[in-house]
């Protein structure tokens, strides 16, 4: 009988610690898995004066409009205005980490044209994994997820506003922070 008790107790310990995710199973973390921000951080609101979208962001994130003389460029061979960069100063590195570059393209840019340009930029490495519409804050945002040469997924978010298509190009390894920023986006 003692031998059966020993095996039962051993099995119970294995199930509790390994089957339930070890000690993390018992932690009392009430923070959302979605947000990498400390709930105590002060939040700010960015209102874009030209395109009239709004983002909420915590201290340590920099939303920096670019000088107009540096706007005109090409992205994936598409003529765009590179008007905004979003960076994170909170990640403990000397230099900030880029989260998004934000571009404005002509309103004639279609999702299909964008996807074709994206794939054409590196046809041997880039394929589209997912495309979905997100409705939020009076915006219809197209989320495009693609492969990259490095094997890390890349995301782009497109929406039309004020006779333009806005492109949020997410940097690699920034999904957690980017998801929170995109989830806060709405029309002003």
pLDDT tens digits for range 95-154: 889 999 999 999 999 999 999 999 999 999 999 999 999 998 899 999 999 999 999 999
pLDDT for position 22: 39
**pLDDT value, residue 188:** 85
Q: Who wins on pLDDT, 172 or 90? A: 172
Place of tokens 């070890």: 22
Residue 64 has pLDDT above 80, yes or no: yes
pLDDT range class, residue 35, cuts 50, 70, 90: very low
Q: Which CATH class is domain 43-187?
A: alpha beta
Query: To the nearest whole number, what is the mean pLDDT of the chain?
Result: 83
Work out the average pLDDT over 11-15. 44
Residue whose pair of structure tokens reads 């400390």 in the numeric block? 38
CA-CA distances (angstroms) from residue 108 to 104, 117, 166?
Answer: 11, 14, 12
Scanning 95-169, the segments in alpha helix (DSSP H) are 111-120
> What 8-state DSSP symbol labels residue 18?
I
Query: C-alpha angle with apex 148: 145 to 152, nearest 5 degrees?
Result: 80
Q: How confident is residue 36, by pLDDT bands cut at 50, 70 and 90?
A: low
């Amino acid at each position: 009988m003692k031998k059966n008790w020993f095996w039962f107790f051993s099995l119970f310990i294995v199930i509790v610690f390994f089957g339930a995710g070890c000690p993390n199973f018992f932690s009392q973390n009430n923070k959302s898995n979605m947000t990498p921000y400390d709930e105590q951080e002060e939040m700010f609101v960015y209102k874009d004066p030209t395109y009239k979208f709004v983002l909420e962001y915590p201290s340590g994130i920099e939303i920096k409009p670019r000088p107009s003389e540096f706007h005109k460029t090409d992205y994936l061979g598409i003529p765009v205005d590179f008007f905004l960069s979003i960076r994170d100063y909170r990640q403990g590195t000397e230099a900030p980490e880029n989260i998004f570059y934000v571009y404005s393209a002509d309103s004639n840019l279609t999702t299909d044209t964008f996807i074709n340009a994206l794939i054409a930029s590196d046809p041997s490495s880039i394929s589209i994994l997912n495309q979905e519409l997100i409705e939020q804050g009076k915006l219809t945002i197209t989320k495009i997820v693609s492969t990259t040469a490095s094997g890390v997924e890349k995301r782009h978010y497109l929406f039309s506003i004020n006779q333009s298509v806005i492109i949020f190009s997410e940097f690699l390894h920034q999904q957690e922070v980017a998801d929170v920023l995109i989830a806060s986006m709405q029309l002003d």
